[in-house]
Chains A and B, each alone.
Chain A
């Protein structure tokens, strides 16, 4: 049955992949079901919570809103591609140390949003961090320690450093 569908090719975390699935299948489901990359999560299925955030051609997208057809030829980055050779990415290390992850279900999407933010703006202000993560909902942390994690991973940021200073 699956052979009936034309192949859709793209790159995931640096590897070339091809899938034969309906063109309108959600990228989220292709990643999770066809490629078994279950790190990317579904929270709402309507682009509100950001749990399914991945990067596509350097843009942050909600993979629940992307038909896989649109991913043809794209470069996709998911949480599984962040660490290399067993070493945590600096953001992952910072989330671990600062308490940026609690239940963990928003964490993969949050990490991708934070990766995207730091790729464009290596030393964001706290206001820029808040804006950069505003599309990713976390119900556990109240976001405070997520901000701290991003600040820690960025090394230093303009005018804000450390848990004592959350002021906007």
Chain B
């Protein structure tokens, strides 16, 4: 019924649920909150990439009796941050594996005294040889993690690639690289913690996944689950950067609270946040592809490696998604993807919007244009000849049972962007101008929800209840951090219950109140959790019909009257449901085969770029995004997700470079880590084709990550169209363009000509 033509609220751009509070400046972010008797905390970090800690000394200028000092010895439970593998310490104990590893914690009533105190702790090390790159790590001369530096590897095989290569008319190979990217949410990481011997640990913080933090605190404090409570405060952006890191900072604040006997706030400044928290995994992808005479794919051999940093965090699942997105949206009978994630002595890389897919998508979509150039075919036509269609099987042998409309999306993208006539015009005009323009395209999918069996393991629980004051509440641990969780989930409940949008509100994101609906990640909220809210709402209606005489047709007043009748006779009015996998979804973890994702969102991106061959700057002049992501619950919010994702990915392609020195981020400031501004973002044209997905919340699939996957290859493809040079690495900065495009001196000498200074 949620998908009937009667939709009134789903599909409408109702205003953001918490929008007014944000616009009035009264939304409470963690740093806006004070607790009675609150102290402030700070972190003493390492300064070498790898080594033993030999001594810790405290200077004599500081009156240390005013401070609370916490070391690894103060941890009552396990000294690790609970995630997939328990390898990352909460506080370094005798050894450090990256430059910014937390070693010691300080708390003081006056936050202005902390900076000097942090500088007053002197740590002596016995250095060990570090490893900084994928190549150094895979050589295994120096082993810095486990027995072989290898966090995880996958082998994905379909058919027999050797057969495909033997029959090839063309074989094209190339290597692609992507560097790290920083989330740069505008609100830095921060938490407040309280400790009480009776009630345990309570944490308020800027975070995505309250139950991840909960699980980690249970382990660090060796407490029972009911003695840990995690409350999300208004969160100023996350993008994956507040998926796992909050478990670290929350543990730190809570340890200081326990030892000091005061509530403790730990809020990072920008430099600390940039230097010490996770980033997008750097990658290296080698593509080797066999094609027949007509440009049909015969075999794809892909070797994919990521740099995981010093601890495993989420590297295995990021690698899994990268592996599953590596072959692109194409039909090929013979595919082999080998993927590995390697340890290095840098800050651990973690979750970031797209979660491995942007790296994989960059490689395959850049490679498609490299293939097209080598075999002399239009890159659009090459893609069209190889697109997946309904009924085809992917590299994991997943049969495409839902409609696949790549051709339709492509046709629309070509028409909206006037692709061919612009490309021809630019080719004509470029010869006569130093500004070289070009058009580029990318085709891609993004799997919605957790990979493989992930959603079954999560086993999410979510629901709705009705308060005596006459409000329906959505009960989820899925959090709002700008992407629209509050709005979309209340829209789905209001639609399904046939109430007004204003009748439905979110229960507080507090583990003491809401059930575990899983982490707020993986483009799963609208599709997976939204479906749970739809089912819970339907179940509530059935209950009210069976036990409180709610009619089939009812007014808003009749609904709430029925709720009160139910309350009088049976107690609390609420309904909880647990995740059920859509039928026909099977995943074989051992053979890495089956339904990798319950649904895919699809997109075509088109970029128009201008490369200035005087200044060597590349600019995106206009951008088109056509996508199918199921039913669009809220067009304004969905459009905002797409535009924001594209802007972030333009930064990934052309602006944002993490400069590492000795494994430490050297440009950890907004002054020198450059993201796109209001003057850099081009006009972005967003178009949705809607095909409701039967098993998604009111027909939704995931939308949040999809837009980050395509822009980088579309932009570099456009730069290739403009300049004729196939660039294979991002970020692509002016100095990189200069290195390739600058006229070479005619003389044999390669030494720069020395000029007399005239200034």
Contact = CB atoms under 8 A, between A and B. Distances in A.
B269 interface: yes
Nearest to A37: B25
A82 B29 CA distance: 20
B236 A96 contact: no
Nearest to B645: A142
B25 A80 contact: yes
A139 B675 contact: yes
Contacts of A130: 678-679
B643 A48 contact: no
B177 to A, nearest CB: 24
Q: Bin chain A's interface residue count.
A: 35 or more
Interface stretch (B14-22, B126-134, B368-376, B489-497): B14-22
A59 B262 CA distance: 41
A119 interface: no
Contact of B25 (A40, A46, A96, A102): A40
B237 A105 contact: yes
B27 interface: yes
A38 B238 CA distance: 20
B24 A38 contact: no
A41 B677 contact: no
B643 A145 contact: yes
A103 B185 contact: yes
Interface in B467-519: 481-484
A76 B481 CA distance: 30
A144 B186 contact: no
A146 B23 CA distance: 13
B19 A146 contact: no
B679 A134 contact: yes
A16 to B, nearest CB: 21
B31 A42 contact: yes
Given A45-B269, A102-B482, A103-B482, A108 B25 contact: yes
Contacts of A138: 186, 678
Contacts of A79: 24-25
Contacts of B234: 104
B669 A44 contact: yes
Contacts of A39: 24-26
Nearest to B27: A104
Contacts of A111: 23
A141 B643 contact: yes
B29 A142 contact: no
Nearest to B638: A99
B236 A145 contact: no
Given A42-B31, A145-B636, A139 B22 contact: no
Nearest to A133: B678
Nearest to A104: B22
A63 interface: no
A43 B270 contact: yes
Contacts of B65: none
Interface string B669-696: 1110001111101111100000000000
Given A95-B23, A101-B22, A137 B684 contact: no
Contact of A140 (B18, B237, B669): B237
A82 B269 CA distance: 28
Nearest to A132: B678
B404 to A, nearest CB: 27
Contacts of A131: 678-679
Contacts of A83: 24
Contacts of A133: 678
A78 B26 CA distance: 12
Nearest to A79: B25
A98 interface: yes
Contact of B671 (A46, A134, A142): A46
Interface in A118-168: 129-131, 133-134, 136-147, 166-168
A82 B18 CA distance: 18
Interface string A80-101: 1011000010001001111101
A141 B186 contact: no
Nearest to A103: B482
Contacts of B681: 142-144
Contact of A103 (B15, B187, B648): B187
Contact of B236 (A32, A46, A105): A105
Nearest to B273: A44
B644 interface: yes
Given A44-B270, A102-B644, A88 B187 contact: no
A139 B643 contact: no
A122 B26 CA distance: 27
B640 A99 contact: yes
Contacts of A51: 186
A141 B675 contact: no
Contacts of B482: 102-104, 140
A107 interface: yes
Nearest to A126: B683
Given A101-B19, A103-B185, A130-B678, A139 B239 contact: yes
Given A103-B481, A139-B239, 6 more contacts: A38-B25, A101-B22, A103-B185, A104-B18, A140-B482, A143-B677
Closest 7 CB pairs of A and B: A39-B25, A105-B236, A103-B482, A104-B22, A142-B647, A166-B683, A102-B482
Interface of A: 32, 37-46, 48-49, 51, 78-80, 82-83, 88, 92, 95-99, 101-108, 111, 129-131, 133-134, 136-147, 166-168
5 contacts: A37-B25, A92-B20, A101-B22, A103-B482, A167-B622
